[in-house]
Chain A
Amino acid sequence: MSRDKTGAKPLSLCPMENLETIQSQLSQAFSDAYITLVPNPILGAQSSLLIDPVHAVKIANYLKTTPGLQFDYCSNVTGVDWLAKDITEPIPAGSAPGTVANLKRLHEGYLEAVYHLYSMQLGHGPLVLRLRTKNRTTDTTLPSLTPVWRSAEFQEREIYDLFGITFEGHPDLRRLLMWDEYKDFPMRKDYSEPDDYEWEPTAHGAILTKAQAHQKIPTQTTEVIV
């Protein structure tokens, strides 16, 4: 390989293996982990691999070190909040009039961490990895990939801050943008902003109106005395 006078490697651009090949390669190497392909209808090249959180760190190390893959650069790390999804099943033809459409719950909702990987050595990418939590409320833990790619350090902290995913194995998991005493996760889809950021003892004006919208006002019952 020729080197110019600065001693730096020249730029190389190799096309990436297609996603199915990488998927089967991973499935062979990690036979007890699930690796699912999540298709992207807009751009097939940016379909993603949903990987098993239990084996995520090992898979990440494999992707980083295996010749031909060498994803040494983790560009973008972000979270996505997916709410519970319901679908209405179509009413079968010939059913009795007045049949109510059946509502079916597809999933209870989950939080996702999405990693976009590139290779600086080979000049290819992106490979999109997805990790899913079990649900949105009680089990929101994922393994941290910061020990593999340092670039995830601040970005995972940001996800922890704004989405509430706890990354196990992160060296310094604190809130990044919001203040430490803050309780909620602002990027979640069901987040409602507090009525009053700076608590004041006698709320008035716009704050009072907003607070009243959230508080349940007891319905007044009038008793008729005979």
Chain B
Amino acid sequence: MSIMPENSYLGRTSEVQGDILEVSMGPHHPSTHGVFRMVATLDGETILKLKPVFGYLHRNHEKLAEGTSYLGIMPYTDRLDYLNSMTNNWSYALAVEKLSGQVATERAEYVRVILAELSRLQNHICLAGFLLQDTGASGTPLMYAFREREKILDLFESLSGSRMMCNFQRFGGCRLDIPEDWIEKAKIIVENFRVFLDEFEALVTGNEIVLSRTQGIGILKPDLAINAGITGPVLRASGVNYDLRKVDAYGIYSRFDFRIPLGKYGDTYDRYMIRVLEMRESIKILDQAFATLPAGPIIDPKAKNRGLRPKVGEIYSRIEGPKGEIGFYLISEGGPNPYRYRIRPPSLINLTTLEDMCLGQSIADAVIILGSIDIVLGEVDR
């Protein structure tokens, strides 16, 4: 009788040298951008299989919202994608406005566009900084990006009282009017942002290491991207022309002249470049919005916010958030709170193809591919 159990390590050393290794990255790993875990099966450094694991930040936001009044949900939406509370607020306000038959005022529509595009600027520059941090460009690009982002967050703070949890939109308009000097400050910051973007690109975009780490890595084919419901810059990097600001032309986006940048190869570099080009388009929209901002009430005086009881029915409404299509599905049974409240989370659905993009790549590239998808765990787990 052998003294070693049959499955012992010593009993099968020759098989162990097969080198199939399972690595669990996260949930406390700096490259996963939050409490997110990937279980990767590796052959050497090559990824054979990769399964994402979610739920570490799950607080059942939808259940909480179903016990809360329509207005009371608004601050909760800040905590979804906490980089972009302005667009979350807008998407939710738009859904409730459609549900209850209210319309935002003209000035509020412009203010929403301004705030959404500012939000897009700081989200995209943040992503560019994080992505370069992941490629190993330690510190400098990220800190440059954060310096510019902080200026935009200062604008948000002076307007709403909070840097990130803005809670700014209401049904029928916005919570507060924007002062005249705020617009002057914003104009200067946007003008400087343009200069900063040139500087940032000169520093980074043509960099040899950035190119070799990102080009041809994590290719996403357009057919798969459409079928897997990928939206936002990740979809457009694969060359699919689908931007809700053009498709749905919600709000007043049809009045602005801007273009939709599209990628060609669908690799990590395209996903980075799309963000840079989108920032330039956002600056164009902001210039036009500042120039044409009309006077008038910021919120409809007859708007119903407190004690809102929409009629029986349901609505699905979506906007183009910086991360993709953020939608809200609401069912009203006539009560003071929604019977069903659902968020379509772009961060979660964009992770559907993470495994497909990572297969055959090295484990170090998986970090960059994940970084280029742009997720926020507050929205993935809800």
Q: Is the CB of B314 within 8 A of A46?
A: yes
- What residues of B have a CB within 8 angstroms of the CB of A8 in the complex? 239-241, 262, 264
B316 at the binding interface (Cβ < 8 Å): yes
Most buried by A among B224, B327, B329, B382: B329
Q: Is the CB of B240 within 8 A of A120?
A: yes
B221 at the binding interface (Cβ < 8 Å): no
Closest A residue to B57 by beta carbon equals: A177
User: Quick one: which of B63, B229, B264, B313 contacts A41, CB cutoff 8 A?
Assistant: B313
A74 at the binding interface (Cβ < 8 Å): yes
Would you give the 0/1 interface string for A72-89, flagging 1 where the beta carbon is closer than 8 Å to chain B? Answer: 111110101000000000
A218 at the binding interface (Cβ < 8 Å): no
Nearest-Cβ distance from residue B239 to partner chain A, whole angstroms: 4
Q: Is the CB of A42 within 8 A of B247?
A: no
Nearest-Cβ distance from residue B184 to partner chain A, whole angstroms: 36
Most buried by A among B310, B316, B325: B316
Most buried by B among A72, A123, A176: A176
User: Quick one: which of A10, A149, A162 contacts B229, CB cutoff 8 A?
Assistant: A149
B13 at the binding interface (Cβ < 8 Å): no
B29 at the binding interface (Cβ < 8 Å): no
Would you give the 0/1 interface string for B188-200, flagging 1 where the beta carbon is closer than 8 Å to chain A? Answer: 0000000000000
Decide yes or no: A78 and B329 within 8 Å by CB, A150-B229, A154-B349 being known contacts.
Answer: yes
- What residues of B have a CB within 8 angstroms of the CB of A164 in the complex? none
- What residues of B have a CB within 8 angstroms of the CB of A42 in the complex? 98-99, 101, 310-315, 332
Would you give the 0/1 interface string for A119-154, flagging 1 where the beta carbon is closer than 8 Å to chain B? Answer: 010010010100000000000000000000111111
Within 8 A of A (CB), among B13-43: none
Nearest-Cβ distance from residue B265 to partner chain A, whole angstroms: 10
Taking residues whose C-beta sits less than 8 angstroms from the other chain, chain B's interface range is 35 or more
A179 at the binding interface (Cβ < 8 Å): yes
Q: Is the CB of A6 within 8 A of B60?
A: no
A220 at the binding interface (Cβ < 8 Å): no
B185 at the binding interface (Cβ < 8 Å): no
User: Quick one: which of B231, B264, B313, B344 contacts A40, CB cutoff 8 A?
Assistant: B313
- What residues of A have a CB within 8 angstroms of the CB of B243 in the complex? 11
- What residues of B have a CB within 8 angstroms of the CB of A114 in the complex? 329
Q: Is the CB of B246 within 8 A of A46?
A: no
Nearest-Cβ distance from residue B282 to partner chain A, whole angstroms: 19
CA distance A176 to B348 in the complex (A): 11
Decide yes or no: A41 and B60 within 8 Å by CB, A72-B227, A73-B229, A128-B316 being known contacts.
Answer: no
Q: Is the CB of A187 within 8 A of B60?
A: yes
B58 at the binding interface (Cβ < 8 Å): yes
Closest A residue to B59 by beta carbon equals: A177
Question: Dominant SS at the A interface?
Answer: loop
CA distance A41 to B315 in the complex (A): 10
Q: Is the CB of A43 within 8 A of B98?
A: yes
Decide yes or no: A116 and B241 within 8 Å by CB, A75-B229, A154-B349, A187-B62 being known contacts.
Answer: no
Question: Dominant SS at the B interface?
Answer: mixed
Decide yes or no: A151 and B229 within 8 Å by CB, A8-B262, A41-B311 being known contacts.
Answer: yes
Nearest-Cβ distance from residue A34 to partner chain B, whole angstroms: 21
CA distance A175 to B53 in the complex (A): 10
CA distance A10 to B63 in the complex (A): 40
- What residues of A have a CB within 8 angstroms of the CB of B54 in the complex? 176-177
A155 at the binding interface (Cβ < 8 Å): yes
CA distance A8 to B381 in the complex (A): 33
A186 at the binding interface (Cβ < 8 Å): yes
- What residues of B have a CB within 8 angstroms of the CB of A10 in the complex? 241
A91 at the binding interface (Cβ < 8 Å): no
Q: Is the CB of A186 within 8 A of B344?
A: no
User: Quick one: which of A150, A155, A177, A178 contacts B227, CB cutoff 8 A?
Assistant: A150
- What residues of A have a CB within 8 angstroms of the CB of B329 in the complex? 76, 78, 114, 116
User: Quick one: which of B62, B98, B246, B382 contacts A11, CB cutoff 8 A?
Assistant: B246
Q: Is the CB of B325 within 8 A of A75?
A: yes
Within 8 A of B (CB), among A65-114: 72-76, 78, 80, 114
CA distance A126 to B316 in the complex (A): 9
Q: Is the CB of A178 within 8 A of B55?
A: yes
Closest B residue to A151 by beta carbon equals: B229
- What residues of A have a CB within 8 angstroms of the CB of B55 in the complex? 175-179
B290 at the binding interface (Cβ < 8 Å): no
Decide yes or no: A43 and B229 within 8 Å by CB, A75-B327, A78-B329, A151-B352 being known contacts.
Answer: no
- What residues of B have a CB within 8 angstroms of the CB of A75 in the complex? 229, 231, 318, 325, 327, 344
CA distance A50 to B274 in the complex (A): 39
Closest A residue to B263 by beta carbon equals: A6
- What residues of A have a CB within 8 angstroms of the CB of B314 in the complex? 40, 42, 46
A15 at the binding interface (Cβ < 8 Å): no
Nearest-Cβ distance from residue B252 to partner chain A, whole angstroms: 18
- What residues of A have a CB within 8 angstroms of the CB of B247 in the complex? 11, 13, 123
CA distance A6 to B241 in the complex (A): 11
Closest 5 CB pairs of A and B: A151-B229, A42-B313, A177-B55, A150-B228, A8-B239
Sample of 9 more A-B contacts, CB < 8 Å, known A8-B264, A46-B315: A11-B247, A40-B314, A42-B312, A46-B316, A72-B226, A75-B231, A75-B344, A114-B329, A152-B229
List residues of B whose CB falls within 8 A of some A CB. 54-55, 58, 60, 62-63, 98-99, 101, 224, 226-231, 239-243, 246-247, 260, 262-264, 310-316, 318, 325, 327, 329, 331-332, 340, 342, 344, 348-349, 351-353, 381-382
